[in-house]
Amino acid sequence: MAFNKTIRRALISVFDKTGLEPIVRKLHELNVEILSTGGTQTFIEQLGIPVVPVETLTEYPSVFGGRVKTLHPKIFGGILARTENESDQREALEFAIPFIDLVIVDLYPFEKTVASTTDEQTIIEKIDIGGISLIRAGAKNFNDVLIVPCVEYYSRLLNLLEVNNGNTTINDRKAFAAKAFEVSSHYDSAIFNWFNAHHEIEALKISSHEPNPLRYGENPHQKGVFFGDLDAFFEKLNGKEISYNNLLDIDAAVQLISEFHDTTFAILKHNNACGLASAATVKEAYTKALAGDPVSAFGGVLISNREIDQEAAAEINKLFCEVVIAPAFTAEALETLRSKANRIILQQKMQPAGGKQVRSLLNGYLVQDRDTASESPENLKQVTERAATAAETEDLMYAVKIVKHTKSNAIVLVKDKQLLGIGTGMTSRIDALKHAIDKAAEAGLSLENTVMASDAFFPFNDCVQIAYGAGVRAVIQPGGSVRDQDSIDYCNQQGMAMVTTGIRHFKH
By annotation, the residues acting in catalysis are: 140, 270
Residue 161 and residue 53: Cα distance in Å, rounded? Answer: 23
Residues 6+ apart with CB under 8 A from 508: 407, 408
Q: How far apart are CA 495 and CA 480, in angstroms?
A: 22
What CA–CA distance (Å, rounded) separates 360 from 136? 29
- For helices 154-164 and 20-29, give the axis angle rounded to 10 degrees: 20
Q: How far apart are CA 408 and CA 387, in angstroms?
A: 27
State which H helix or E strand residue 125 sits in. helix 120-125
Contact 396, 451 (CB under 8 A): yes
DSSP helix/strand/coil, 493: helix
Q: Residue type for 449, please?
A: N
What angle, 0 to 180 degrees and rounded to 10, lies between the N-to-C axes of helices 38-46 and 20-29?
A: 70
CA atoms within 13 A on the CB side of 23: 27
Please enumerate in sequence order all residues whose Cβ is within 8 A of that of 35, keeping only pairs 6 or more positions apart, or say none.
Answer: 9, 10, 11, 12, 51, 52, 53, 54, 57, 75, 100
Write the burial class of residue 323 (CB in 10 Å: 0-12 exposed, 13-18 middle, 19+ buried).
buried
How many residues comprise the chain? 508
- What does R_g of the chain's alpha carbons equal in angstroms? 31
**Do 446 and 421 touch, CB atoms closer than 8 A?**
no
Distance CA 48, CA 504 (A): 69
What's 407's DSSP letter? P
- Residue 322, amino acid: E
Measured between alpha carbons, how far is 399 from 415 in angstroms, rounded to an integer? 9
